[in-house]
Amino acid sequence: MIIVDNSSTDSTAEAVKRSFPHLRLIANSVNRGFAAANNQGIKEAQCEYVLLLNPDTIVRPKSLNILIKFMDENKDVGACGPKLLNENDTTQPSTRRFPTFRAALYRHTIFRSIGIFRKQYRRWLMKDFGHDEQMDVDQLVGAVFMTRRSIIDQLGAMDEQFSIESYCFYYIMPPK
First to last CA, the chain: 28
Q: How confident is the model at residue 27 (pLDDT cuts 50, 70, 90)?
A: very high
How do 49-53 and 24-27 pair as beta strands? unpaired
Angle at 126 between CA 122 and CA 131, to 5 degrees: 145
pTM: 0.82
Domains and CATH numbers, the chain: 2-83+140-170 (3.90.550.10)
pLDDT tens-place string over residues 108-166: 999 999 999 999 999 999 999 989 999 999 999 888 999 999 999 999 989 888 665 44
